[in-house]
Structure 1
């Protein structure tokens, strides 16, 4: 099971480097983010690669639940943090990938406007602010917990550093998508789901 989890993590890790790296361009503006995203889509929306990404997500969902179940009696703090942050990531992946697939099926362009639309509507933003912030925080904590298990003498720094970096990035991206850093215009088609 660990081998499958590592396979899924490796594939998704490469995707996340590109995807979250592209999200850093939100600090420059939506236009810069969109331009790079459209270039990256040529790569990861290529059907064979898209199928591998979907397989990696499914692999993570199944192997993650099984590994969390097997490690439920683990006493190491890093293992507990890795398990709980991993389960939070699984929930995020399930919701996020399902929403993207449903959005595409409905004919929507699932770009940053699709992701940001919920942050522009009350009460939807009460869900989406913690949803995105905590997801990136959980990713940072999960990676930090993995490092803490490798370097137990630095466990506290790995755990707190990973979690804080993730929360800081997540909160910053939320502020950019919500229009709190600069004005953001969301096309009308994305507002329909929240009316």
Structure 2
């Protein structure tokens, strides 16, 4: 990725209005995200039981648009980071763009919280209404930002936190690689997945191991948010923007996944977190009205986990004297591999077997 181009801030009131409207685009995309998923579900679930070519094509377009919603946040972050003298409103718009990248896990998180409200408290809450309200408030925060120049911070304040973040990432990586390999085994069949998972759980579900792992995951999410908040105030290149954006997604993904698997499934509803749970059985990820939100959640989750690791590796390589061109090639190969693995895992969860 080339460095972001420079954009100057003008004091033209019409330009200021235009920039504020552009700043609301990530919030608008986030608000439309659930409706794209609902439309996709309606397209692939005809009452007659058969799918026409037109419906399949329409469903593919709707699903592509649903994936484009969070990815548009990444594009918006690149655009906003180009400002040479960002105003307070511009900085809020930039951070809103980063938050919008995490739309899929945030929507899952809101959906699980809605389940608590309805099933445990008896409150008739609509997750769509809550979702729209959240992003309207976020948009209002951007709109109310002032035109005063935003104060750009130095990078020296995050050195210790960055090291701690990297150390915890090394610990978590061992679990992540096993976990993703376990999900890849679903291409062979749920039985193979269950056998590998049983062997792994003997280690990572031991009381001490699980406690350390959960604490490391929570620290990774919290430190990632802190680092993303700091770096989002700085002018930087597109590689760093991608690293910040993928980190924002992962922070939300970790919280949503821990909430769904550890709290909701295991401790609240007493559900076994096996292959059937992950695949949303019996309806499946595609044909389940609620489960469809898990499709981009999982796909982008796997992609950004591996892509974020590739971004970190690129930084380490450059810091240790590797040529930037070589480090960039390794990073690009990492993103391609991440996309392929994410596709394979989602295909397995949707029923594909080899």
Task: Using structure 2 for the length normalisation, give the TM-score.
Answer: 0.49
What residue is the counterpart of 1:104 in the other structure? 266
Secondary structure of the 2:256 match is: helix
Q: Any idea what the Cα deviations from partners look like across 1:148-179, whole Å, max 9, x if unmatched? A: 32242234423332222112111111111111
What residue is the counterpart of 2:166 in the other structure? 6
What residue is the counterpart of 1:190 in the other structure? none
Tell me, yes or no, if the aligned pair for 2:189 and 2:353 is still in contact at 8 Å. Answer: no
Tell me, yes or no, if the aligned pair for 1:5 and 1:63 is still in contact at 8 Å. Answer: yes
What residue is the counterpart of 1:129 in the other structure? 295
Q: Against the structure 1 CA distance between its residues 180 and 25, is the aligned structure 2 distance closer, same or farther, given a 3 Å change threshold?
A: closer
Q: Does 1:93 align with 2:265?
A: no
What residue is the counterpart of 1:178 in the other structure? 350
Tell me, yes or no, if the aligned pair for 1:141 and 1:163 is still in contact at 8 Å. Answer: yes
What residue is the counterpart of 2:187 in the other structure? 27
Deviation at 1:147, TM superposition (A): 2.6
Match of 2:277 among 95, 105, 114: 114
Q: Any idea what the Cα deviations from partners look like across 1:39-66, whole Å, max 9, x if unmatched? A: 1111111011110011001111111011
What CA distance in whole angstroms lies between the structure 1 residues aligned with 2:178 and 2:313? 21
Structure number with larger C-alpha Rg: 2
Q: Does 1:18 align with 2:184?
A: no
Q: Against the structure 1 CA distance between its residues 159 and 83, is the aligned structure 2 distance closer, same or farther, given a 3 Å change threshold?
A: same
What CA distance in whole angstroms lies between the structure 2 residues aligned with 1:54 and 1:170? 23
What residue is the counterpart of 1:193 in the other structure? none
Q: Against the structure 1 CA distance between its residues 142 and 74, is the aligned structure 2 distance closer, same or farther, given a 3 Å change threshold?
A: farther
Q: Against the structure 1 CA distance between its residues 51 and 155, is the aligned structure 2 distance closer, same or farther, given a 3 Å change threshold?
A: same
Match of 2:243 among 82, 90, 94: 82
Unaligned runs of 5+ in 2: 1-160, 319-323
What CA distance in whole angstroms lies between the structure 2 residues aligned with 1:22 and 1:122? 23
What residue is the counterpart of 2:228 in the other structure? 68
Q: Does 1:43 align with 2:203?
A: yes
Tell me, yes or no, if the aligned pair for 1:9 and 1:60 is still in contact at 8 Å. Answer: yes
What CA distance in whole angstroms lies between the structure 2 residues aligned with 1:100 and 1:143? 23
Unaligned runs of 5+ in 1: 183-195
Q: CA RMSD in A?
A: 1.8
Match of 1:53 among 201, 213, 220: 213
**Correspondence list, 1:156-175, <5 A:** 156-175=328-347
Q: Any idea what the Cα deviations from partners look like across 1:1-35, whole Å, max 9, x if unmatched? A: 12321232122111112211222212222111110
What CA distance in whole angstroms lies between the structure 2 residues aligned with 1:161 and 1:140? 11
Tell me, yes or no, if the aligned pair for 1:148 and 1:155 is still in contact at 8 Å. Answer: yes
